[in-house]
A and B are shown apart, each in its own frame.
Chain A
Amino acid sequence: MISLELPEVVEQTKEMMHGLAKDLFRPISRKYDELEHVYPEELEVCRGFIGGKKKAETKPEGGEKKKKTKKPTFKNLIGVVTIEELCWGDLGLLMTIPGMGLGNAAIDAVGTPEQKAKFGPKWAAMAITEPEAGSDSASIQTTAVLDGDEWVINGEKIFVTCADRCDIVVVWANIDPSVGKAGIKSFVIEKDTPGFKLEYLEHKLGIRASDTGTFVLKDCRVPKENLLGTAEISKKKSFAGVMQTFDNTRPTVAAMSVGVARAALEFTKEKMEEKGIVIDYEKSPYSMSALEKEFYKMDADVDAIRLLVWQAASMADAGVRNSLQASMCKAKAGKVGTAVTQKCCELLGPLGYSQDYLPEKWMRDVKIADIFEGTGQIQHLIVARQLMKLSSKELK
């Protein structure tokens, strides 16, 4: 039966995460925006606390004791609610919570029990993007060649989140370019491996608390067993399988937009109320000021993207394929997050443009959610292709 009432366990998480966002993230928000590239030591208290539970569960302990139960779980719903709250605090800081890299998710998803045990406790970044391969991640040029018991990897990776702070990096490379994207595999590389060099850290528009770097791989040799999953090339499954893991991450990126947009909206509301403008959800749209109308519009839009995110997350929790809904929520959330934070800055006037306040930062920060893990344009493409059952050749 349809109900949009959050279960108590989700409400509790939400409350807890809000407290963390308010007491830990907000006070150091501006500091690390300005200190770009400096590691926020204050976040150490989060290590193993957020995202840490997963690792404890996946530790191989001899026999498989836990059996899969069919009880309703809210794992994905809890995930997106957590992200919204923490991003209400600070999106850049969320991106650099120790131990919570995208690489960790990949190891968790496709690693063998041994790999999970060995690499799970480490902070793992993810390296996919290359100078010539952005949204078209199937066209990566980095190669891995087996030489005895080692893979020899060559290439260049850009836009690697937590590049400086992580312990290990999960790198995408092609083991057989002749078969195209089917040859793409992921490898775990330790930071101190010879031939693996952090070349450069980006200076960015926003999320400056998060370090983003470029790695160059030059005859970088990693042990054979560092290939995640299997070295076998399956023409059908392989790449599609890799891309499917993004079905679950797109709603979390959309949830980032929800959190930041809500922060901007709440700040704006506070300032409006200080001026005696009452938001009462009663006034006729025909008798309100332009300013008020903008507010209600944004308020509704933020609710809409939150609900789209919850829709995608709850489908994942129910074990239903949600590729369409995941892209829908990201497509709209990217746009709404950008538009709402821009409009809030506009409505706030000098308070919106000054670095004495956070809205200008939120406007810079949230833009990334419309870009990474598939730009808004790519999401619209995916939505349209899925709706109309068109191939990527038919709808380019």
Chain B
Amino acid sequence: MFSLEMSKEQKMIKDEVAKLVKGIVTKNANEMDEKREIPEDTVQKAWELGASVSMVSEEFGGFGMDDSPVTTAIVLEELAFGDLAFAIQATLPSLVISPLVSMGTKEQQSKYLPLLCGEKYSAATLAISEEKFGFDPVELETKAEKKNGAYVLSGEKCFVPLAESAFVILVAASLEGENNLFIVNKGNAGLKIGEKEKNLGLNALDSYKITLKNCEVPAEDRLGGDHGCDYAKFLQKCRIGMSAIGTGVSRASFEFAMEYAKVRGQFGEPIAHKQSVAFMIAQMAYEVDSMRLMTWNAASKLEAGKDAKREAYLAKFYTGEKAMYVTDCGVQLLGGHGYTKEYPVERYYRNGRGISIIEGMATV
């Protein structure tokens, strides 16, 4: 069945997220960026919408609903429409919850899911990126070795959001050439949290470098148990997640710039009346639609139980490029004003640059 119309439920969820974003995110996003902090209660309010736990079974504290990658993509776009850093932080526990639900052993699920799905937001995060030239998420330098019935991890990771406060960090590492995920608990002697990172964008999001040195992980904390997990599938989900938030930040820039062009007067009329401006706006519009459709296309494949390797890869590739293009247009259309912190387009521009670089900060 082919349809691009949201179900009643999808529409309801979208509206609810949009309302929250409009109420407490959009207006405060610049301040959060300046102060490099997202207020706890803002994150908590988003958490209470329950998007991250909806597909967890009730026995573990979730709602026991069907896992819908498309619905998640819709939610992520809306959150990122408000602010990219906020979208990542608000859904960060999903990066542990989602793989646990789809690939964790029964023991792992019953041990960790109830802790992750509480009424209060509790930080849990994913460590996948490595600070090196030409980083490739399928060619991990972080290694895991089996020793005395446990796994010993060694390597360095970057772009790990909330590493300082997270009670578990899911670490991607290569074990005998196979990519795996390991659950590393807070306080592990071999885990060292580095200094808070300073990046081009996503300033409101606390992120860290971490070092794993002889980091011993009990055998039962290898995701999926002795056979490991389907890392490739997880990567697909992350790519779709990143595409969804890339769509959101681009739409924010597009809509802001379009409204601005309609009221900004020059030479006696709104600049929107000039073709060079109007054509840019038209391009931004169809690029945002393209990004969303590429994201939905990949998510829809997963939802139908099919492999989405190609679609997820191309969606991330495409949204990464176009997020830069669209957010650049946003700054350009506002001219000198777009270059200042008076307007949000400069933030969208810095944040949008991250989509193609960062892996695994959102998932469906």
Contacts and interface: CB of A to CB of B under 8 A. Distances in A.
Interface in A228-271: none
Interface string A360-396: 0000000000000000010111011101101000111
Interface string B192-228: 0000000000000000000000000000000000000
B6 interface: yes
Interface stretch (A31-39, A139-147, A303-311): A303-311
Contact of B281 (A4, A304, A332, A387): A387
Interface string A42-86: 000000000000000000000000000000101001000000000
B318 A300 contact: yes
A304 B293 CA distance: 7
A282 B138 contact: yes
A321 to B, nearest CB: 14
Interface in A300-327: 300-301, 303-305, 307-308, 310-311, 314-315, 318, 325
Contacts of B134: 284, 286-287
Given A284-B137, A383-B285, A308 B6 contact: no
The residue in B4, B133, B314, B318 that gathers the most chain A C-beta atoms within 10 A of its C-beta is B4
Contacts, number: 164
Contact of B275 (A10, A300, A381): A381
A10 to B, nearest CB: 7
A3 B304 contact: yes
B109 interface: no
Nearest to A303: B314
Interface stretch (B42-50, B295-303, B330-338): B295-303
User: Secondary structure at chain A's binding surface: helix, strand, loop or mixed?
Assistant: helix
A2 interface: yes
B5 interface: yes
Contact of B294 (A281, A307, A328, A385): A307
Nearest to B357: A286
A194 interface: no
Nearest to B320: A285
A308 B289 contact: yes
Contacts of B296: 2, 4
Interface size of A as a range: 35 or more
Given A2-B70, A332-B286, A332-B290, A283 B6 contact: no
Contact of B314 (A1, A281, A394): A281
B10 interface: yes
A384 B315 CA distance: 25
Nearest to A324: B285
A5 interface: yes
Nearest to B139: A284
B135 A286 contact: yes
15 contacts: A3-B70, A4-B301, A5-B300, A281-B313, A284-B139, A296-B314, A297-B321, A307-B297, A318-B5, A332-B283, A332-B290, A379-B282, A380-B279, A387-B281, A388-B281
Given A285-B356, A304-B294, A311-B4, 5 more contacts: A281-B310, A296-B317, A300-B315, A303-B294, A332-B287
Interface of B: 1-7, 10, 70, 74, 133-139, 258, 261-262, 269, 272-273, 275, 278-279, 281-283, 285-287, 289-290, 293-294, 296-297, 300-301, 303-304, 309-311, 313-315, 317-318, 320-321, 356
